[in-house]
Amino acid sequence: MRSNQLIKIIIIDDHDLLREGISARLQDVPYVEIIAEGSNGREAVDLCQRLQPDVLLMDISMPVMNGLEAAEIIRETGIKTRILFLSIYDDNEYIQEALRIGANGFVLKDVSKPEMLNAIKSVAQGATYLGPKVAASLQKGADAQTECATNYGLTKREKQVLALIAEGQLNKEIAYRLDISIRTVESHRSAVRDKTGGGNAARLAKIARDLGL
């Protein structure tokens, strides 16, 4: 997709006003053509199958079927349409879910015109574009995870033991690896349980993985 080729777009949003705004913005852009519009996810799926647009510009929260569900179905049908989400929320859950499904881009609704065009061109080429605030939100989430990894006040030894538990090692094996008694492993394990509030072995494994192994 060269920048001088026509990019065919479908716009999906349940608010008429917003669709009109987008249309107005893109009307005088020579390399972009809006070939259809719709107001829910079901229409998005139908229109993409019939018209095979280059880019699907879609909201997330919509009646009947939301954007994420629609995107998942479209991805499953194997249509090559690039999906660019346009949301009012920079919610981490949404963003990660969108990327997991295979979305090509994600921008917020306060996006400027040049940035919107930039995003459209990028995803049309097959690139992945995440708007500034979206990227910042994702990064913040990653930071929070990293920060969390230093918590619970676990000592070095306890972290070592926890990591081996998460691997699925038995106390016996952990004792052998760290060259300590099984009873000591049990003590550390008990301390980890107390500090993290985890009971079950599987729960400890979950906690360990949340903390980055």
* Interacting residue ranges for DNA, rule: CB under 7 A: 153, 155-158, 170-172, 178, 180-181, 183-184, 186-190, 193, 199-202, 204
Q: Does 139 sit near a copy of itself (CB under 8 A)?
A: yes
Closest CA to 20 of 40, 45, 37: 37
Residue 166 interacts, among DNA, a copy of itself, none and using kind-specific CB cut-offs from 5 to 8 Å, with a copy of itself
- Contacting residues for 186 by C-beta, under 8 A, at least 6 apart: 171
Closest CA to 106 of 47, 36, 56: 56
Is the Cβ of residue 153 or residue 199 nearer to a copy of itself in the bound state?
199
| Structure tokens given for 94 | 């949404």
Binding mask 168-207 for a copy of itself (x = CB under 8 A): xxx---------------------------xxxxxxxxx-
Partner from DNA, a copy of itself, none contacting 129, C-beta within 5 to 8 A by type: a copy of itself
**How far apart are the C-alpha atoms of 197 and 96, rounded to whole Å?**
28
Q: Rounded distance, CA 21 to CA 13, Å?
A: 11
When CB distances are held under 5 to 8 angstroms depending on the partner's kind, the choice from a copy of itself, DNA, none that residue 90 binds is none
